[in-house]
Amino acid sequence: MANEKKHGLSRAIIIGLGGAIGFEIFALLNYAYFDLAGPSMISALFFCGIINLITMLSYSELSAALPEVGGEYTYTKVAFGGFISFMAGCLRWLASVFGGALAAVVFVNQLGVLFSVFAPSIQDLVLVNASLLIVGLVVILIVLSIRGVEEATTLIVAAFLAIFVIFLAMSLGYTLAPQNIVPEASPSSLAVFFATAAYLFPMFVGMRALVTGAPQIKNPGKNVPRALILSTVLLTVVYLGVAYVAVGAVPLEMAVTGDELPLLNLAASAIMGPIGAILFALAGIIASVSSVGTAMTVQSSILGGMSRDGYLPKALLKVHRRFGTRYIAIIGSSLFVVFFGISGAVEFLGYAASFGSLLVFALVNFSLIQLRRKMPRLDRPFKAPFYPLTPIAGIIMSVLLLTFPVILRDVNAESALLSSLGLVAIVLVTYYLRMVKREVDFNRLRVAVGGICFGAGVTLIVLTPVIAPPSLFIIMILVGLVSILAGILNILVSARKID
Amino acid sequence: MKIRRILTAITGIAQEVIGVLSGVLAVMLVLNILEVQTVFNVPPELLPLYLLILGLFSLFSVISGYFLIREGRE
């Protein structure tokens, strides 16, 4: 360990940018621009940058004070103890699952864009077999041992920055003046503005990769906070520049013409010609493949950490003899990535990834406040300025972004929130079951499963007259009755054994 | 007690069948086999939610059915 090479500030900035610059910019700008906010998407991006910067100040203080491996999981564990840290770990895992699924969808979309330039017939083939391609991509990444990530990150960041700089430089030859980039001061416009910011937020969250890499940075107490702040500012400037040019180059009316190319690919094509379209499609493909791989590694690391602490089965810690990776954790997580990826619902996945990350950000800000009160003498090489305003502002902004898309009744946001809540409920049941005495685990599990079946059966019977088509009415009632009966039987038998 | 055991086993088997069929329906929805998305009028933006609900229902039904079958055989 003594000879382990440590990285300086510049490398730390690259790690931060490498975590954040990725496939999201290829996927998320479309819905935000064409369906939600129009040109005022640029202001929403700026708002995301501000929220990210505020929360990165909290991350900076916590990572400098607690430089151990684990990131959010460690901060919440020290601040609040087991349950909250378990929640933080699970939410981080969820965000990673949804992010990985989104990356897999972007991979297929960008592959389609690339082939649209060369061979439209192959593009159709790609889009028709999207599910198969996603499964194939994930299986290949499971089988491959993911090595040399560090070098790949540097290359990808350098390539991305170069592409974006060329794109911005070439746009100087055009007169681009997008209108209405600031939202109107009306309640409906502000609701759309916040919903757009929530949707675009995953473009920034990868920055925290720097926190997990803190042990590899020289003088982390000084360099990590600096790198976090510098890379956040740099990233926001690059994103704003690219979005400004894209919005200027592609008028909103293009959505009406039925052109299904993503915004960034359309803009690249308009500014740089066919070369631009190819370059951006290639960049999208590389970024998405890299992100799926990273998501799987992150997921296995999170599940491994929680398994080590006894929250999840020890089997998740098993390391493959040849590849040296936690193969059971990777395969388990990959199933979720495939499950959500083959749905192909970019908007749903964007919101779902965002919700998980926003909740984690709120927990990190709460942890900062709690640690200042609980451990006032903790050595803090960096202190978040304007305390307690910064963490409080971070919490309020995260909550705003979480609630507005649902208030706006965006169907994608609603289904994403419901799905996330459903998965969080499973997480809570898991925690409850793992934390009770082992000898009554099995019967408690039966009670829990029985309760779920009973509840599902009652819900089904209540909803059937409202939602069921006549042909399915009797079947749904029967399924509901069987579920209720099964629930009662499971609860009665198990409750007696627990007593 | 014998009647109760038989009832438990039959309910368990019924739940196993329901669970497996829900899982099959989820897969059919994802891959749109036999145009089920159109048959059930599932909007694309709600597909992930349908999948999640069917997947969870299938999972819990199979687990619950297994417990009941085990109970019935004891």
Residue A85 maps to a domain:
yes
Q: Which of A345, A423, A483 sits opposite B47 (nearest CB)?
A: A345
Tokens read off for A164 = 């974006």
CB A224 within 8 A of CB A211: yes
Q: In this structure, are A205 and A171 located in the same domain?
A: yes
Q: In this structure, are A341 and A471 located in the same domain?
A: no
Q: In this structure, are A300 and A380 located in the same domain?
A: yes
Q: How far is A234 from chain B (nearest CA, A)?
A: 34
Q: Do B30 and A131 touch (CB under 8 A)?
A: yes
Q: In this structure, are A444 and A428 located in the same domain?
A: no
Residue A1 maps to a domain:
no
Q: In this structure, are A155 and A211 located in the same domain?
A: yes
Residue type, A472: L
Whether chain B has a CB inside 8 Å of the CB on A486: the answer is yes
Task: Count how many domains chain A has.
Answer: 2
**What DSSP assignment string belongs to A231-245?**
HHHHHHHHHHHHHHH
Q: Which residues of A touch B54 (CB under 8 A)?
A: none
Q: Which of A420, A435, A450 is the last residue of a domain?
A: A435
Q: In this structure, are A428 and A484 located in the same domain?
A: no
Q: In this structure, are A447 and A421 located in the same domain?
A: no
Q: Do A490 and B47 touch (CB under 8 A)?
A: no
Residue A354 maps to a domain:
yes
Q: In this structure, are A354 and A220 located in the same domain?
A: yes
Q: Which of A415, A490, A493 sits opposite B49 (nearest CB)?
A: A415
Closest residue in chain B to residue A479, using alpha carbons only? B18
d(CA B43, CA B66): 33
Residue A274 maps to a domain:
yes
User: HSE-up of B60 (CA within 13 Å, CB side)?
Assistant: 27
Domain that holds residue A484: 440-498
Q: Which of A343, A416, A486 sits opposite B51 (nearest CB)?
A: A343
pLDDT class of B14 with cuts at 50, 70, 90: very high
How many CB atoms neighbour CB B64 within 10 A? 29
Q: Which of A435, A455, A483 is the last residue of a domain?
A: A435
Q: In this structure, are A370 and A483 located in the same domain?
A: no
With the CA atoms of A253, A259, A260 and A263 taken in that order, what torsion angle do they form, in degrees rounded to the nearest 10?
A: -50
Report how far apart, in Å, the C-alpha atoms of A460 and of each of A199, B15, B42, B43, B50 are.
Answer: 32, 14, 18, 20, 14
Q: Which of A343, A450, A483 sits opposite B48 (nearest CB)?
A: A343
Q: In this structure, are A230 and A378 located in the same domain?
A: yes
Q: Which residues contact A308 (CB under 8 A, 6 or more apart)?
A: A317
Closest residue in chain B to residue A456, using alpha carbons only? B57
CATH of the domain at A228: 1.20.1740.10
Residue A12 confidence (pLDDT): 79
Residue A135 confidence (pLDDT): 62
pTM as predicted: 0.70
Q: Do A418 and B46 touch (CB under 8 A)?
A: no
- The pLDDT of B22-42, averaged and rounded, is 80
Three-class HEC string of A92-157? HHHHHHHHHHHHHHHHHHHHHHHHHHHCHHHHHHHHHCHHHHHHHHHHHHHHCCCCCHHHHHHHHH
Nearest one of B42, B66, B68 to B54, comparing CA atoms: B42
Q: Which residues of A touch B7 (CB under 8 A)?
A: 489
Residue A146 confidence (pLDDT): 44
Q: Extract the residue ranges of chain A whose pLDDT is less than 50.
A: 1-3, 145-149, 258, 439
Q: Which of A418, A435, A452 is the last residue of a domain?
A: A435
Q: In this structure, are A321 and A466 located in the same domain?
A: no
Closest residue in chain B to residue A130, using alpha carbons only? B31
- At A13-24, the pLDDT tens digits run 877 777 777 778
d(CA A447, CA A491): 5
Whether chain B has a CB inside 8 Å of the CB on A129: the answer is no
Residue A499 confidence (pLDDT): 54
- At A233-287, the pLDDT tens digits run 888 898 899 888 888 888 877 665 545 678 888 888 888 888 888 888 888 887 7
Residue A366 maps to a domain:
yes
d(CA A26, CA A149): 21
A vs B: CB pairs below 8 A: 84
Q: In this structure, are A445 and A412 located in the same domain?
A: no
